[in-house]
Structure 1
């Protein structure tokens, strides 16, 4: 993001991007996990009085195109892939990956899958 002053706005923009991408590729269900509790609350309620309220509004109206949308808060420890992707994005140009994840996050993805299988 070229200009973003706070983490709330950055998270909201990321969700809006994800909703747009999911809609573009034809997904009908969308689950958002974020370590930003304020963003999850705003998205769940469908509105916000904070600086990114117009982005939250966009997300609300975009979510109406899906048959199922959930917004869940998760601890940063459970959100390591997103955290690493955000760190990588700070030092590279933006990109979208659909099939092959960046090498830096593959061990984290494997760990997430292992945790899910063992639950």
Structure 2
């Protein structure tokens, strides 16, 4: 993003990007996690009166193309991979990875997978 004045808009843009990516690779069932309760609520309701309302509308209409969508609030402690990726994105050019994660996040992904297996 070139300019973004608030975190709500940044998070909504990130969700729109993720929905577009999921659609591009052919996903039909998705779960969207965000550490912003406000964004999760707006996405779940399909409506927002914020400055990002058009982005929330985009997300709503994009979500209609999936057979199953879950929007879930995920606190920052459970969202360490996304946090690390956001830090990396600040200082590198945009990239998409499908099979091989950046080396910096592999330990965090392993930790997340371990936690999931133990639930």
Tell me whether 1:104 sits opposite 2:86 in the alignment.
no
1:67 aligns with 2:67: yes
Q: 2-side partners of 1:25 and 1:117: how far apart?
A: 26
Partner Cα separation in structure 2 for residue 103 and residue 7 of structure 1: 27
Task: Tell me the TM-score normalized by structure 1.
Answer: 0.98
Counterparts of 1:90 and 1:14, CA distance in 2: 14
Structure 1 unaligned spans of 5+: none
Matching residue of 2:21? 21
Secondary structure of residue in 1 paired with 2:100: coil
Which residue of the partner structure matches residue 85 of structure 2?
A: 85
SS, match of residue 55 in structure 2:
helix
- Structure 1 segments (4+ residues) deviating >3 Å: none
Q: CA deviation at 1:6?
A: 1.1
* 1:10-49 deviation digits (Å, cap 9, x = unpaired): 1101110111111111110110111100000000000100
Deviation, structure 1 residue 111:
0.2
How many residues align? The count is 119
TM-score of the pair, normalised by structure 2 = 0.98
Instruction: Please provide the CA RMSD for this pair.
Output: 0.6
